Structure 1
């Protein structure tokens, strides 16, 4: 998406998709502080990608290049479209973008309580490489997952 586009539908998708976390994760999700302006900044400074159905977003992902890695954030799939491979499709796109940017790693974070997400990320080739704690917490609140991208084969043909 370009930063000039209307980010309201993206914000609505993220809020709907992350609503199940309310009361389940501590501290509360950063999506509560997310604004359309912040999404436009992400589109300008990083990348925002959507999958759409009849012109409405049904899945999204934020990608942010960092040293040696591509950070994956706000991976969201609308409830009505879950279990159709859309998250896997967006992770595949993230891999293609990382390769285009000559980055060898994908990285993401997931809250400690979201064990079903951990299983999904592991099934997509990620491994847990670290633990994090939000400011003010003396316990682990999240995990860092990484996926090393194998070198692309060369056609010597």
Structure 2
């Protein structure tokens, strides 16, 4: 799981200093990635054993939560994120869910637009502990 962790760390690094509070990626460990694979799902697109993109999927109540969607910078624009989102929709249906859900930080407007282009709609706002303003937007998509 080390290469997946490294991919997430590389691709989320641009958020440092941009989002507040800092990304939960900083608390991610190889053990946490392995636990995600055991307790939820970790899907990886790779080339010659090297991860190019990944997504974490977690059943949450009546929906499948999509997290840690990461695409290597050298592979952006190739549709890998869309491919993983479509796979998440397929997994949601297979697991009996009709809803995908994810959260995007308020500051990451390009990510918000990308998810909207993939059929997600804003359904709410949340604030991290200790904040008196929204820090994340919740998006959902029917499958």
User: Is the shorter-chain TM-score for this pair beyond 0.5, marking a shared fold?
Assistant: yes
1:121 has 2:97 as partner: no
Alignment partner, residue 152 of structure 1: none
Q: Which has the higher helix share?
A: 2
Mapped to 2, the partners of 1:126 and 1:112 lie a distance apart of 15
What 5-or-longer segments of structure 2 have no aligned partner?
none
- Structure 1 residue ranges (4+ consecutive) displaced by more than 4 angstroms after TM superposition: none
Mapped to 2, the partners of 1:98 and 1:114 lie a distance apart of 25
Alignment partner, residue 137 of structure 2: 143
Mapped to 2, the partners of 1:140 and 1:67 lie a distance apart of 23
Mapped to 1, the partners of 2:66 and 2:72 lie a distance apart of 17
1:60 has 2:54 as partner: yes
Alignment partner, residue 43 of structure 1: 37
Based on CA coordinates, which of the two structures has the bigger radius of gyration? 1
Mapped to 1, the partners of 2:120 and 2:136 lie a distance apart of 15
The alpha-carbon deviation at position 28 of structure 1 amounts to: 0.4
What 5-or-longer segments of structure 1 have no aligned partner?
1-6, 150-157
TM-score (normalizing by structure 2): 0.99
Q: For each residue in 1:78-116, what CA deviation from the matched residue of structure 2 results, as whole angstroms up to 9, or x when unmatched?
A: 000001100000000000000100100000000000000
The partner residue of 2:102 within 83, 108, 117 is 108
Q: For each residue in 1:40-68, what CA deviation from the matched residue of structure 2 results, as whole angstroms up to 9, or x when unmatched?
A: 00000000000001210010000001221
Aligned length: 143
The partner residue of 1:14 within 8, 19, 22 is 8
- The CA RMSD measured in Å over matched residues stands at 0.5
1:30 has 2:15 as partner: no
